[in-house]
Amino acid sequence: MNSKGTGAVFCLISALLMSTRYLSAAIFLSGAASWDAELFRAGLEYVGSPLKIASMIALAAGVCFLLAGIVQDIRKTGK
């Protein structure tokens, strides 16, 4: 797999981790009688920040790999 493919996979992993964070908060709050923004924010705090941090790291790695792939293509074509 080339650098651009690896970068795309890391971006996909980042999106999955971030959606898992929100889905976990929603599952945690599934028994609540009513929902509002403040309650959901509290649910996100309960889930914690490890998923958010892992998502940011995966996104940064994905962007770096994508940029490295683009630079390799530019050097290969000479433009």
List pLDDT tens digits, range 5-57: 999 999 999 999 999 999 999 998 888 888 888 999 999 999 999 999 999 99
SS3 sequence of 3-67: HHHHHHHHHHHHHHHHHHHHHHHHHHCCCCCCCCHHHHHHHHHHHCCHHHHHHHHHHHHHHHHHH
Helix axes 3-28, 50-77, angle to 10 degrees: 160
pTM flag (> 0.95): no
Structural domain of residue 35, as residue ranges?
A: 3-77
Domain count, the chain: 1
